[in-house]
Amino acid sequence: MEKAQLVFVPWPGMGHLVSAVELAKHLLTRDQRLSVTILILQLSFINSKQVHNYIESLQASSSTISNSLRFIILPKDEPELFNFTSFIERQKPHVKEAVLKIIQSESTSDSPAPRLGGFVLDLFCAPMIDVANDFDVPSYIYFTSSAAFLGLMLYLQKIHDEEKFDPIEFKNSDAELPVPSLVNPFPARVMPCAMLRREWLSPTLENARRYREVKGIIVNTFLEFESYAIQSLKMPPVYPVGPILDIGSVGSNAPQEIMQWLDNQPLSSVVFLCFGSMGSFSEDQVKEIACALEHSGYRFLWALRRPPPPGKLASPSDYEDPQEVLPEGFLDRTAGIGKVIGWAPQVAILAHQAVGGFVSHCGWNSVLESIWFGVPIAAWPIYSEQQLNAFEMVFELGLAVEIKIDYSKDSEIIVKCDEIERGIRCLMEHDTEKRKKVKEMSEKSRKALMEGGSSYFWLGHFIRNVMAIKG
Figure out which of the listed residues 32, 53, 59, 86 binds ligand NAG, where binding follows CB under 6 A: 86
**Interaction pattern, residues 227-266, with ligand NAG; x per rule: CB under 6 A:** ----------------------------------------
The residue among 188 and 201 lying less far from ligand NAG, judged by its C-beta, is 201
- The residues assigned a catalytic role are 16, 122
DSSP β-ladder status, 186-187 and 305-306:
unpaired
Minimum CB distance to ligand NAG, residue 167 (Å): 16
Cβ-based neighbours of 227, under 8 Å, separated by 6 or more: none
The residue among 166 and 419 lying less far from ligand NAG, judged by its C-beta, is 166
Minimum CB distance to ligand NAG, residue 16 (Å): 21
* CA 85 to each of CA 81, 128, 151: distance values in angstroms, whole numbers, following the listed order: 12, 11, 22
Minimum CB distance to ligand NAG, residue 44 (Å): 16
**430 exposed, middle or buried (CB, 10 Å; 0-12, 13-18, 19+)?**
exposed
Of 204, 218, 226, the C-alpha closest to 156 is 204
Cβ neighbour number for residue 410 with a 10 Å cutoff: 10
The window from 79-87, 117-125, 319-327, 434-442 that contacts ligand NAG (CB under 6 A) reads 79-87
Minimum CB distance to ligand NAG, residue 205 (Å): 13
**Interaction pattern, residues 120-149, with ligand NAG; x per rule: CB under 6 A:** ------------------------------
The answer to whether 268 contacts ligand NAG (rule: CB under 6 A) is: no
CA distance 197 to 123: 18
The residue among 67 and 85 lying less far from ligand NAG, judged by its C-beta, is 85
The answer to whether 93 contacts ligand NAG (rule: CB under 6 A) is: no
The residue among 199 and 318 lying less far from ligand NAG, judged by its C-beta, is 199
The residue among 26 and 210 lying less far from ligand NAG, judged by its C-beta, is 210
DSSP β-ladder status, 186-187 and 176-177:
antiparallel
Minimum CB distance to ligand NAG, residue 130 (Å): 14
One DSSP character per residue, 370-402 reads: HHHHT--EEE---STTHHHHHHIIIIIS--EEE
The window from 68-76, 78-86, 284-292, 423-431 that contacts ligand NAG (CB under 6 A) reads 78-86
The residue among 206 and 406 lying less far from ligand NAG, judged by its C-beta, is 206
# residues near ligand NAG by CB under 6 A: 4
Residues in the chain: 471
Q: Distance of alpha carbon 222 from its chain centroid, rounded?
A: 14
* Local structure of residue 112 (DSSP, 8 states): P
Minimum CB distance to ligand NAG, residue 202 (Å): 7
**Interaction pattern, residues 173-202, with ligand NAG; x per rule: CB under 6 A:** --------------------------x---
Whether the bond between 243 and the residue before it is cis, its omega within 30 degrees of 0, is: yes
Cβ neighbour number for residue 457 with a 10 Å cutoff: 16
Q: Identify residues 199-218 at the interface with ligand NAG (CB under 6 A).
A: 199
The answer to whether 313 contacts ligand NAG (rule: CB under 6 A) is: no
The answer to whether 172 contacts ligand NAG (rule: CB under 6 A) is: no
The answer to whether 47 contacts ligand NAG (rule: CB under 6 A) is: no
The answer to whether 83 contacts ligand NAG (rule: CB under 6 A) is: yes
The answer to whether 77 contacts ligand NAG (rule: CB under 6 A) is: no
The torsion angles phi and psi of 336, rounded to 5 degrees, stand at -75, -20
One DSSP character per residue, 417-442 reads: HHHHHHHHHHHH-SS-HHHHHHHHHH
The answer to whether 168 contacts ligand NAG (rule: CB under 6 A) is: no
The residue among 88 and 415 lying less far from ligand NAG, judged by its C-beta, is 88
Minimum CB distance to ligand NAG, residue 139 (Å): 21
**Angle formed at CA 424 by CA 337 and CA 256, multiple of 5 degrees:** 40
Helices vs. strands in the chain: H and E counts, helices first: 17, 17
CA distance 167 to 86: 23
* CA 435 to each of CA 130, 363, 374, 379, 431: distance values in angstroms, whole numbers, following the listed order: 46, 20, 8, 14, 7
The answer to whether 42 contacts ligand NAG (rule: CB under 6 A) is: no
Q: Identify residues 352-411 at the interface with ligand NAG (CB under 6 A).
A: none
The answer to whether 85 contacts ligand NAG (rule: CB under 6 A) is: yes
Cβ neighbour number for residue 354 with a 10 Å cutoff: 19
The residue among 135 and 200 lying less far from ligand NAG, judged by its C-beta, is 200
Interacting residues with ligand NAG (CB under 6 A)? 83, 85-86, 199
